[in-house]
Amino acid sequence: MKIIVTGATGQLGNLVIQHLLKKVPASHIIAVVRNLEKAAALAALGIEVRLADYNVPESLQNAFRLGTKLLFISSSESDDTLRVVQHANVVKAARDQKIQHIAYTSFAFAEDNPFARVHLATENAIHTTRIPYTFLRNGGYTEFFINASLKTYIKSGTIFTNTNNGKINSVSRIDLALAAATVLTEEGHENKSYNLVSNTPWSFDDLADILSDISGKSVTHQSVSYEEEKSLLVQAGLPKSFAETTAFIYRTIAEGQMERTTDDLQQLIGGQTPIKELVEKALQ
């Protein structure tokens, strides 16, 4: 068996490989990357490294040669039209090289999300190949919210967001990576879709309480308007475009669009990393 992982030097792909190494020999793993130098550490572990680019169909054909299972990590391209083409290149190469199982990193509750059209298009493309599939419909990354910037909240004593009391069903990359590795190394996941979100959503009020408990200092969450949040983020030094994106995500949280839950992740990996543990790690 040969398990191919695309985007193997990316944050998610690399974590998947670390989990795979606990389940199968390194000789069973093929890492597909765009930069061989960045994959030197993987090669040192005995993993075969192949060069490919989603924009170059021929490279994908070579990269997927003699593969058994494929973890297809979605492109990070911001141009959705180009992204559809890239994904079509990957799907066609998988079909041509007779891949026997495709696990694709889609987006949670894709049918109900207007920003997940590329993922739905890719899922449909995979269906046309009649290759057994698993759609790993990943929720938002907890690391978007829980990262080193938490230290500024402790210092100031206040978290300003326009999330109101909204709940967040985000999941850590480490848990999503374990879910992918599990699907790739176990039987029984063919032709299934998993919505991989937290079954215990949290709020910024919860985060403030956790930060207070860990730091021993009082941290509170204060609600502001959408426009106020954008202004505060720009004042903090964030690029305007990122500030707008962040405030937009916060608004979707306030509207309850990120509180939907399932037990899919729990059933796949037996649990999830507690939010407090992720906060403690981010503060190290």
Which residue is it, tokens 């990576």?
Answer: 177
Would you place residue 88 in the very low, low, confident or very high pLDDT band (cuts 50, 70, 90)?
very high
pLDDT digits (tens, 9 = 90+) for 4-25: 999 999 999 999 999 999 999 9
pLDDT digits (tens, 9 = 90+) for 40-67: 999 999 999 999 999 999 999 999 999 9
Supply the pLDDT for residue 48.
98
Residue where one domain finishes, among candidates 121, 138, 155: 138
pLDDT over 70 percentage in the chain: 100
- Assess whether 157 and 231 both reside in one domain: yes
pLDDT digits (tens, 9 = 90+) for 230-274: 999 999 999 999 999 999 999 999 999 999 999 999 999 999 999
- Assess whether 147 and 277 both reside in one domain: yes
Q: Is 263 inside a domain boundary?
A: no
Residue 113 has pLDDT above 90, yes or no: no
Q: How far apart are CA 14 and CA 238, in angstroms?
A: 27
Q: Is 179 inside a domain boundary?
A: no
Domain of residue 125, CATH code: 3.40.50.720
**Domain span including residue 152:** 143-168+199-258+271-282
- Assess whether 105 and 36 both reside in one domain: yes
- Assess whether 248 and 203 both reside in one domain: yes
Supply the pLDDT for residue 151.
96
Q: Is 180 inside a domain boundary?
A: no
Residue 115 has pLDDT above 90, yes or no: no
pLDDT digits (tens, 9 = 90+) for 189-231: 999 999 999 999 999 999 999 999 999 999 999 999 999 999 9
Q: Is 266 inside a domain boundary?
A: no
- Assess whether 8 and 98 both reside in one domain: yes
Q: CB–CB of 77/89 below 8 Å?
A: no
Q: Is 187 inside a domain boundary?
A: no
Q: Is 72 inside a domain boundary?
A: yes
Q: CB–CB of 24/1 below 8 Å?
A: yes
Q: How far apart are CA 107 and CA 113, in angstroms?
A: 9
- Assess whether 7 and 126 both reside in one domain: yes
Does the pTM exceed 0.85?
Answer: yes
pLDDT digits (tens, 9 = 90+) for 137-175: 999 999 999 999 999 999 999 999 999 999 999 999 999
- Assess whether 46 and 8 both reside in one domain: yes
Domain of residue 204, CATH code: 3.90.25.10
Q: Is 184 inside a domain boundary?
A: no
- DSSP, collapsed to helix, strand or coil, labels residue 219 as coil
Supply the pLDDT for residue 98.
98
Supply the pLDDT for residue 183.
98
Q: CB–CB of 273/175 below 8 Å?
A: yes
**Domains contained in the chain, number:** 2
Q: Is 176 inside a domain boundary?
A: no
Would you place residue 127 in the very low, low, confident or very high pLDDT band (cuts 50, 70, 90)?
very high
- Assess whether 110 and 11 both reside in one domain: yes
DSSP state string for 119-137: HHHHHHHHHHHT--EEEEE
